Amino acid sequence: MFEAMIMNREINNPMYRFLFENQSPAHVYYRWKIYTILQGEAPVKWKTEDFRMFKNGSLWHPPPLNPYLHGPYDDGEEEEVEEEAGKKGCLKEE
């Protein structure tokens, strides 16, 4: 209801054009952002896994988190640190 009122009031305002252009990147971002906030996610940090808004609906790909704000991407798996093979006094295996 609120969105419809805004759309009606701002129909000629170019700043709100994204509300009417359903395929535009700005509109897609807007829909995704509204959905995630309504699902209880924080406005500045969100899940990055693909998801469906509706049963049998399109697969949505959330935008990546900003590494400057949230640090580098961490997929939960830590890299195994290889032991140093070239230590002083050790032979190198081939």
In the prediction, which pLDDT does 30 show? 93
In the prediction, which pLDDT does 53 show? 87
pLDDT digits (tens, 9 = 90+) for 32-87: 899 899 989 888 888 888 989 889 988 988 888 776 665 655 555 544 444 455 55
Task: Check residues 44 and 89 and name the one with the higher pLDDT.
Answer: 44
CB 49 within 8 Å of CB 62: yes
Q: Which of 61, 68, 10, 75 is nearest to 44 (CA)?
A: 68
pTM reported for the whole predicted model: 0.61
Tokens of 87: 């230590």
CB 60 within 8 Å of CB 53: yes
Under the banding of pLDDT at 50, 70 and 90, the label for residue 12 is very high
Q: Amino acid letter at 78?
A: E
